[in-house]
Structure 1
Amino acid sequence: MIKRSFYYLWGSQTVSNVADIIYLLSIVVLVFTSSDSLMTTILIPLFRLSSQVLSGLVAPIILSRFRLNRVLLFSQLGQFVIFTLLLLYLWNTPGQKSFFFIFIMVFGMSFLDGWTNPARNALVPRLATGEGLMRANGMVSVSDQVVKCAGWALSGIVIVWLGSLNTLMVASCCYFVAAIVTSFIRDPLVQEEVRSESSDPSSNEAGLAQEKKKGAYWKELGEGWKIIWHNRRIRSLMIVDSVDTIGGTSWVGVFILAYVTQVLHQDESWWGFMNASFFSGMILGGLLVVGLVKRLQKNSFLYMLGALMVYVLITVVFALNTIPVAALVLFAISGIPVQMAGIIRRTLLQTSAPAAQLPKVMAGIDVLTNLAFGLSLLFLGWYADRFGMVQVYLLAAVMTTIAVLIGWFYRRDFQENEQVDHPTATGAGI
C-alpha cells in the first residue's frame, strides 16, 4: 500500500534534486570562470561534504524533536532563502565576487540538505507498507537516477543558453516549488500519536517524562549508533555495505576518467558516454525492482547477495577488458545489479527498526556512509597511482566478494523474515 503523501514526497524530492544539480553545476562554472583556479573550485565539494557530515552528526536531535515532514519543509524553505540571498549577492556584484561568501552559502545549504536524506528514508516506510515499500524505494531510486542522468547532461546546455545567473534563477524557482509540494506531506505516525494521546489520560505524564528524557543531548546523539550496533540485522547490513563501499568507490567519475584514458586509451568524450551508460543501467535496475517486487519480497537478502555476485563477475570482466564498446556495454549492465542491491538493502534497513527509532538510525547510517566513502576515496586514489586502474577494479571485485561472504555468514538473521511493522494512519487521503 502506498499513501498519497508518498507521491508528494517523491515529487518534492525529485524537483529538489533537479534544483541541486542545476545550482551545483552553475556555481562550479561561475567560480571556475571567475577564479580560473581548479583548486578554488575544488573547495565547493569539500565544503559540501564537510557540511553534510556535521549535519548528520546533529541530525538525531533534530529528527527526534520535530516531525519529519516539518523537518523536510524547514530544510526546503531554508535552502530556498539561503539560495535567494546568494542569487541576490551574485546579481548585485557582477564584478569581483567574494568566494568566501559563496562557500559559506554553499555550506549553509548543504547543512540543511544533510537532514533531507535520513528524514526521507525514515518517512518512506511510514507512507508505503508491505510490497509497496520496495516498490516505493524503486520509484525513488529510478527518479534519482533519471534526474542525475538527464540533469548533468541538460544543465550544461541550459547554462550555455541562459548563462550562470539566469540558470540559478531557474534553480531558485525549483526550490520554491519543492517546498510547496513538501507542505502537503502528512506523517501518519504523528496522527496516530495524536489519537493515542487524546484517548489515553495518562499520555500527558508520559509525554513529560519523554521530554525530560530528551534533555540528555549527548545520550540522544549516541542512541542511533547504539541501535545500529545492537540490532543484528542493521549491523550486518552496515558491515556488508562498508566492505562493499571500499571497492564501490571505484565507480566515481575521476576513476572512470582514469580508466578511459589509461586502459581504453580514449579521449574525455568517452567519460561522458560511460557515465550515461551506467545511469541507464541504474534506471533499468530500479525498474526491474518495481516490476519484480513480489518475487524479490521473499528472501530479499539472498537476492541482494546474488545481485552483488553478478556485479563481481561483471567487474572482473570490465577490469580485464580493453575494448571501448565492450566497456560501455559492461558499464551499463553493471548498473543493474548495483541498483537492485542498493534498493533491497535500503528496504531491509527501513524494516529493521521501529518507526520512532528509524530517523536516528538513518542519520547515523548517513554519517557512516559519508565517512566510509571519504576514506575509500583517499585509499583508492593512492592505490590507483601505485598499481593502476586495472588493479583497482580487481580490488573492487575482491572487496565485494568479501562483502558477499560476510553477508552469507549473517544470512540467518534474515531467514527469519523479521520485519518491524510501521504505524500507518487509516484512510487513503493522507
Structure 2
Amino acid sequence: MIRRSFYYLWGSQTISNVADIIYMLSVVVLVFSSSNSLMTTILIPLFRLSAQVLSGLVAPIVLGRFRLTRILLFSQFGQFVIFTLLLLYLWITPDQRSFLFIFVMVFGMSFLDGWTNPARNALVPRLATGEGLMRANGMVAVSDQVVKCAGWALSGIIVAWLGSLNTLVIASCCYLVAVTITSFIRDPLDQKELSPESSEFATSGSETAKAKEKGSHWKELGEGWQIIWHNRRIRSLMIVDSVDTIGGTSWLGVFILAYVTQVLHQDASWWGFMNASFFSGTILGGLLVVGLVKRLQRNSFLYMLGALLVYVLITVVFALNTIPVAALVLFAVSGLPVQMAGIIRRTLLQTSAPAAQLPKVMAGIDVLTNLAFGLSLLFLGWYADRFGMVQVYLLAAAMTTIAVLIGWFYRRDFQGSEQMDHPTATGAGI
C-alpha cells in the first residue's frame, strides 16, 4: 500500500532536486565568469561536500529528537530562506561580490540538505508498505535519474538563455513549491510512541529536556553505528555495498572520459553520449523494478545478487571492448542491473530496522557511503594512472564478484520474512 503522503514526499523531493541542479549550475557559471579562476570555482563543490559530511555526522541527534516531517520542512524552508538571501545579495551587488559570502551560503544550504536524504529514506517505509515499498523506491529512483539526466542539460540551456541571475529566480520558485508540498506530508506513526526523547525535545520548555545528560549527545551520535554493526542484515548489506563501491566508483564521469579517450580513442562528445546512455539504462532499470515488484519481492536478496552478477559480466565485456558503438550499448545495458540492485538494497535496508531506529541508521549509512566513495575515488584515480582504464574495469568486476560471494555467505540472514513491522498510530493517516 502506498499512502497519499508518499506522493507529496516524492513530488517535493523531485522539485527540490531540480532546484538544486539549477542553483548549483547557475552559481558555478556565475562564480567562474566573475573570477575567471577554476580554482575558485572548485571551492563550491568543496564547501558543499564538507557541509554534507558535517551534517551527516550530527544528523543522528536531529533525527532522533524531531519528527521527520518537521525536519524535512525545516530543511527545505531553511534552504529557501538562505537561497533567497543569496539571490538578493547577488542582485544588489552586481559588480563587487564577495565569493566568501557565496561559499558560506552554499555551505549553509548544503548543511541543511544533509538531513534530507536520511529523513526521506526513513519516511518512505512508513508511507509505503508491503509490495508498495519496493514500488515506491523504484519510483523515487526513476525520478532521481530523470532529474539527473535531463536537469543538467536543460539547466545549461536555461542559464545560456536567461543568464545566471534570472535562472536563480526559477530555482527560488522551485524551492518555494517544494516547501509548500512538503507541508502536506503526514507521518502515519505516532512520534511519541516511537521515541520519548523526540516529544520531550520538541517541547522547548520541557523540564525533562533540560535535565538530559551531557553525554547523551555522544550516545546518540554512536547509536546508529551500533545498530549497523549489531544488526546482521544491515551489516551484511553495508559490507556488500562497500566492497561493490570500490569498483562501482569507476563509472564516475572522469573515469568514463578517460576510457573514451584512452580505450575507444574518441573525442569528448562520446563522453556525453555514454553518460546519456547510462542514465537511460538506470531509468529503464527503475521502471522494470516497478513493473516486476511482485516477483522481486520474493527472494529479493538473491535477485540483488543476481543483478550484481549480470553487472559483472557486462563490466568484463565493457573493459575488453574497443568498439565505440558496442561500448555505448554495454554502458546503457549496465544501468539496468545497477539500478535494480540499488533499489532492492535500499528496500532491504529500510525493512531491516524498526521505524524508531531507521532515521539514525540511514544517517550512519549516508556517512559510510560517502566515506567509501571518497576513498574509492582516490584509490581508483591512482590505480588508473598506474595500470590504465582496462585494468580499472576488470578490477571493478573483481570487486563486485567478491561482494556477491560475501552476500552469498550471508544469504541465510535474508530468508523468511523481509518486512520489518512498522506500526502505525491510530488515526494518524493522511
Q: Same fold (TM over 0.5)?
A: yes
Deviates more, 1:176-185 or 1:208-217: 208-217
Equivalent in the alignment of 1:286:
286
Does the alignment pair 1:88 with 2:85? no
Q: CA deviation at 1:428?
A: 9.5
Matched-pair identity in %? 88
Q: CA deviation at 1:247?
A: 0.5
Aligned partners of 1:281 and 1:333 also within 8 Å: yes
Letter of the 1:190 partner, please give it: D
The TM-score with structure 2 as length reference comes to 0.94
- Superimposed CA distance per residue, residues 136-157 of structure 1 (whole angstroms, 9 cap, x where no aligned partner): 0000000000111110111111
Q: CA deviation at 1:383?
A: 0.8
Equivalent in the alignment of 2:201:
none
For 2:395 and 2:96, the matched residues in 1 are separated by: 46
Equivalent in the alignment of 2:62:
62
For 1:126 and 1:396, the matched residues in 2 are separated by: 35
Equivalent in the alignment of 2:359:
359
Equivalent in the alignment of 1:259:
259
Aligned partners of 1:4 and 1:429 also within 8 Å: no
- Secondary structure, aligned partner of 2:190: helix
- Superimposed CA distance per residue, residues 8-33 of structure 1 (whole angstroms, 9 cap, x where no aligned partner): 00000000000011011111111111
Equivalent in the alignment of 1:132:
132
For 1:270 and 1:68, the matched residues in 2 are separated by: 42
- Secondary structure, aligned partner of 2:421: coil
Aligned partners of 2:261 and 2:267 also within 8 Å: yes
Letter of the 2:247 partner, please give it: G
Aligned partners of 1:72 and 1:116 also within 8 Å: yes
Letter of the 2:78 partner, please give it: G
Matches within 5 A, 1:31-42: 31-42=31-42
The root-mean-square deviation of aligned C-alpha atoms, in Å, is 1.8
Q: CA deviation at 1:259?
A: 1.0
Letter of the 1:144 partner, please give it: D
Q: CA deviation at 1:427?
A: 6.5
The TM-score with structure 1 as length reference comes to 0.94
For 1:301 and 1:24, the matched residues in 2 are separated by: 36
For 1:315 and 1:293, the matched residues in 2 are separated by: 26
- Secondary structure, aligned partner of 1:188: coil
- Secondary structure, aligned partner of 2:344: helix
Letter of the 1:74 partner, please give it: F
Equivalent in the alignment of 1:50:
50
Does the alignment pair 1:308 with 2:317? no
For 2:26 and 2:257, the matched residues in 1 are separated by: 22
Matches within 5 A, 1:24-423: 24-190=24-190, 193=193, 212=212, 216-423=216-423
Gaps of 5+ in 1: 197-206
Residues matched between the structures, number: 419
Q: CA deviation at 1:41?
A: 1.4
Structure 1 184/214 Cα, relative in aligned 2: closer, same or farther at 3 Å?
farther
Structure 1 297/338 Cα, relative in aligned 2: closer, same or farther at 3 Å?
same
For 2:232 and 2:33, the matched residues in 1 are separated by: 50
- Superimposed CA distance per residue, residues 263-294 of structure 1 (whole angstroms, 9 cap, x where no aligned partner): 11111111111111111000000000000000
- Superimposed CA distance per residue, residues 394-430 of structure 1 (whole angstroms, 9 cap, x where no aligned partner): 1111110000000001101111334311123467951
Q: CA deviation at 1:333?
A: 0.4
Q: CA deviation at 1:35?
A: 1.5
Does the alignment pair 1:4 with 2:4? yes
Matches within 5 A, 1:10-25: 10-25=10-25
Structure 1 214/420 Cα, relative in aligned 2: closer, same or farther at 3 Å?
farther
Aligned partners of 1:243 and 1:403 also within 8 Å: yes
Q: CA deviation at 1:392?
A: 0.8
Deviates more, 1:327-336 or 1:410-419: 410-419
Deviates more, 1:370-379 or 1:412-421: 412-421
Equivalent in the alignment of 2:202:
none
Gaps of 5+ in 2: 197-206
Q: CA deviation at 1:260?
A: 1.1
Deviates more, 1:371-380 or 1:415-424: 415-424
For 2:213 and 2:344, the matched residues in 1 are separated by: 34
For 1:191 and 1:407, the matched residues in 2 are separated by: 34
Aligned partners of 1:142 and 1:282 also within 8 Å: yes
Deviates more, 1:215-224 or 1:157-166: 215-224
- Superimposed CA distance per residue, residues 308-338 of structure 1 (whole angstroms, 9 cap, x where no aligned partner): 0000110111111111111111111000000
Q: CA deviation at 1:210?
A: 12
- Secondary structure, aligned partner of 1:189: coil
- Superimposed CA distance per residue, residues 333-384 of structure 1 (whole angstroms, 9 cap, x where no aligned partner): 0000000000000000000000000000000000000111111111111111
